């Protein structure tokens, strides 16, 4: 068999220019275009060896079922499968299912979109194999034959519950009842075409008919170069650059190189400088070993990374991960970097630094104080802190400086009819407990001399605190050795006291200050005592008559 294959290869090379001077392909629209060679499975019935070759130019990004793309082959999903199908964007499925219903699948991920791909499927009775662009890719053990003789050979679709239509181009689709080997695959891939008289070749559709991109409405069949079965065309527009005959494979083989460059790339093969990524082709006249034109594809990636700018606003400081530097003031910084392909670009940082602030909240309170942190403090402190956003959005750290004051107010009975506070305060206010703690007019000193019986208390205040003493009783004011015989008013007074005696006649009065010093003494008949020359304060008044009756009073001079 090896010698047969060698002879087959030689025949490919010798006869390619004779049989394939015209190079068309067929463009399928992915909607309803296809061709079928009826009952073509009869050509390979019971054959222990099979092969299928094709050039395919896929254009569809497959997203999964039911959007698969059928290239060519037999398919009934029961007992006669020998086909190639696009499963994903770069994935194909090759299947051989014998008439016993056993299927053998190869899934391959090397399909290239928008480019010509050459595939060969072979079955030698023991192994099912797949070649791509002249190179062996995968093989699995397989067995059995196809005995079904009524299946059609499909081109541009594979039938299913919903047919899988090809959106792309096909050229040089062939079916064999022998198993091609690596030498045969290489010769077909690099050759100008397949000799229609090759041993074992059963079907060959070169699409080398009609006018590329022209009006081919009169064409109804794809011609089989072997003369066995023409394939009827269905759904094709057969006019213009799609759903029609188009320019096909040049027949001299392909080679592909991939490279990347920064900004631009000059291809040494053709001297052209490219500034954008893409797949570029160059045809080398008579470049193949058999004298056919060959095509070289360049898969080019141009990496021109754009300069980057990052705008950052930060509080107090900022560490830039790009260069590891820490900044404490607003600035503009730049770093020159390389991407994964080694191409440089500039990364600029526009940094605005805003600052946190600190403040002290000075408070003086009586007994306790509840601060903004929700805590109540009962002793002086300067350690609590609280953080709130300031006007620029950074932390404002506030420290509490608290002074806690307190007043312990006790009234002392001096034993001489006066009462005093035991604390030195800013304000004193003596009040009447029996009259809802109403303040006594003019009683704002540290010492209080009641002039009327009653219940009294003292309210003292400093800058922050106020405290009220307990109430105390005062009695016995106005009780003398005799029943009251004189009445005086008004009390308190500002300039005079009016005396109403119990009988007419002279009376003597004496006025003493709060310390008991006599400051005024007079005997008179008139009932008015002038006190306008007295200083403001507490005084004692003693009144007596000719009969020796004595009566004492306390009064306040305003």
pLDDT digits (tens, 9 = 90+) for 121-134: 999 999 999 999 99
Quote the pLDDT of residue 250. Answer: 60
Q: What are phi and psi of 182, to 5 degrees?
A: -55, -40
- Three-state DSSP state, 1: coil
pLDDT for the residue numbered 424: 76
pLDDT of 358 higher than 60: yes
- Specify burial of residue 95 (Cβ count, 10 A radius: 0-12, 13-18, 19+): buried
* Integer angstrom CA distances of residue 558 from 99, 299, 416, 535: 133, 112, 21, 8
The pLDDT of residue 3 is 29
Please, how many CA atoms are within 13 Å of residue 531, restricted to the half-sphere of its CB? Answer: 32
β-bridge pairing 411-413 and 419-421: antiparallel
| Residue 252: pLDDT band with limits 50, 70, 90 | low
Q: How many residues does the chain have?
A: 558
DSSP state string for 78-142: SS-EEEEEEEETTEEEEEEE-TTS-EEEEEE----TTS-EEEEEEE-SSEEEEEETTEEEEEEE-
User: 260-269, 373-382, 528-537 — which is least confidently predicted?
Assistant: 528-537
**Residue 479 gets which letter from DSSP?**
-
Q: Between 127 and 413, whose confidence is greater?
A: 127
pLDDT value, residue 508: 86
Give me 503's structure tokens. 């009988």
What is the distance in angstroms between the CA of the first residue and the CA of the last residue of the chain?
144
Q: Which domains does the chain possess?
A: 2-247 (2.60.120.200), 254-302 (no CATH), 308-354 (no CATH), 358-405 (no CATH), 411-474 (no CATH), 486-557 (2.60.40.1930)
Give how far Cα 358 sits from Cα of 328, 388, 392, 394, 400, Å. 17, 10, 13, 11, 11
pLDDT of 235 higher than 80: yes
- Nearest-angstrom CA–CA distance, 169 and 171: 7
Strand ranges, E, within 162-225 = 164-165, 167-176, 201-205, 221-222
Residues 95-120, mean pLDDT to the nearest whole number: 96
Peptide bond into 492 cis (omega under 30): yes
Name the CA dihedral angle for 196, 94, 45, 206, rounded to a multiple of 10 degrees.
-20
7 has pLDDT over 90: no
Query: How far is it, in rounded angstroms, from Cα 156 to Cα 35?
Result: 7
124-138, 320-334, 470-484, 498-512: least confident range? 470-484
In the predicted model, is pLDDT for residue 192 greater than 80?
A: no
pLDDT exceeding 70 applies to what percent of the chain? 91
Q: Please give the radius of gyration of the chain, using alpha carbons only, rounded to the nearest integer.
A: 59
Give 28-84 pLDDT, tens digit per residue.
999 999 999 999 999 999 999 999 999 999 999 987 888 899 999 999 999 999 999
In angstroms, rounded to a whole number, what is the distance separating the alpha carbons of residues 412 and 414?
6
Is the pLDDT score of 305 beyond 90?
Answer: no
Give the pLDDT band of residue 254 (cuts 50, 70, 90): low
Report the distance separating Cα 67 and Cα 163, nearest Å. Answer: 9
Whether the CB-CB separation of 447 and 513 falls below 8 Å is answered with: no
The bridge status of strand 472-474 relative to strand 486-489 is: unpaired
323: left (phi over 0), alpha (psi -120 to 50) or beta: alpha
Beta strands in 262-328 (DSSP E): 265-266, 273-274, 278-284, 294-302, 308-315, 318-319, 326-327
Q: Are 181 and 2 in contact (CB under 8 A)?
A: yes
pTM of the model: 0.48
Structure token digits, residue 390: 């300031």
What's the average model confidence in pLDDT over 408-414? 82
Question: Given the structure tokens 């083989």, which residue do they identify?
Answer: 253
How far apart CA 30 and CA 66 sit, in angstroms, is 12
The yes-or-no verdict on residue 549 having pLDDT over 70 is yes
Q: Between these two residues, 430 and 425, which has the higher pLDDT value?
A: 430
Phi-psi label, residue 4: left if phi above 0, alpha if psi -120 to 50, beta otherwise: alpha
């Amino acid at each position: 068999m090896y010698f047969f294959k060698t002879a087959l290869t030689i025949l490919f090379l010798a006869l390619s220019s004779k049989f394939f001077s015209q190079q068309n392909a067929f463009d399928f629209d992915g909607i309803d275009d296809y061709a079928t060679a009826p009952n073509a499975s009869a050509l390979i019935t019971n054959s222990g060896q099979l092969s299928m070759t094709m050039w395919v130019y896929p254009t569809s990004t497959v997203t999964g079922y039911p959007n698969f793309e059928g290239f060519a082959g037999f398919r009934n999903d029961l007992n006669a499968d020998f086909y190639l199908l696009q499963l994903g964007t770069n994935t194909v499925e090759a299947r051989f299912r014998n008439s016993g219903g056993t299927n053998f699948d190869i899934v391959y991920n090397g399909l290239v979109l928008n480019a010509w791909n050459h595939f060969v499927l072979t079955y030698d009775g023991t192994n099912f194999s797949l070649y791509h662009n002249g190179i062996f890719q995968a093989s699995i053990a397989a067995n059995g034959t196809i005995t079904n003789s009524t299946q059609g050979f499909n081109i541009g679709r594979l039938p299913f519950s919903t047919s899988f239509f090809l959106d792309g181009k096909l050229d040089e689709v062939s079916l064999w009842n022998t198993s091609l080997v690596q030498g045969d695959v290489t010769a077909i891939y690099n050759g100008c075409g397949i000799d229609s008289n090759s041993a074992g070749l059963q079907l060959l559709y070169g699409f080398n008919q009609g006018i590329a991109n022209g009006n081919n409405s009169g064409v109804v069949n794809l011609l089989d170069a072997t003369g066995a079965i023409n394939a009827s065309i269905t759904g094709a527009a057969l006019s213009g650059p799609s759903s029609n005959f188009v320019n096909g494979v040049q027949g001299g083989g392909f080679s592909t190189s991939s490279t990347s460059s920064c900004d631009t790339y000059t291809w040494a093969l053709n001297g052209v400088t490219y500034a954008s990524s893409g797949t570029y082709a160059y045809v080398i006249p008579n470049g193949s070993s058999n004298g056919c034109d060959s095509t070289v594809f360049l898969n080019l990636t141009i990496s021109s990374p754009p300069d980057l700018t990052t705008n950052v606003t930060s509080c107090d400081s900022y560490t830039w991960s790009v260069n590891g530097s820490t900044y404490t003031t607003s600035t503009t910084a730049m770093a020159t970097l390389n991407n994964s392909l080694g191409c440089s670009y500039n990364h600029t940082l526009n940094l605005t630094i805003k600052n946190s602030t600190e403040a002290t909240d000075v408070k003086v309170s009586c007994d306790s104080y509840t601060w903004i942190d929700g805590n109540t403090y009962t002793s002086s402190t300067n350690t609590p802190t609280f953080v709130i956003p300031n006007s620029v959005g950074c932390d404002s750290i506030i420290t509490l400086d608290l002074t806690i004051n307190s007043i312990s107010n006790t009234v002392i009975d001096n034993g001489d009819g006066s009462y005093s506070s035991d604390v030195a305060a800013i304000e004193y206010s003596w009040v009447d407990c029996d009259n809802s703690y109403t303040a006594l007019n003019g009683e704002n000193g540290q010492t209080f001399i009641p002039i009327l019986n009653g219940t009294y208390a003292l309210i003292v205040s400093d800058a922050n605190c106020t405290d009220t003493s307990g109430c105390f009783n005062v009695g016995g004011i106005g009780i003398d050795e005799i029943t009251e015989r004189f009445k005086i008013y008004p009390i308190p007074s500002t300039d005079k006291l009016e005396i109403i005696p119990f009988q007419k006649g002279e009376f003597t009065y004496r006025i003493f200050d709060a310390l008991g010093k006599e400051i005024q003494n007079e005997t008179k008949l008139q009932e008015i005592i002038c006190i306008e020359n007295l200083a403001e304060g507490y005084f004692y008044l003693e009144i007596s008559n000719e009969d020796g009756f004595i009566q004492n009073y306390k009064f306040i001079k305003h």
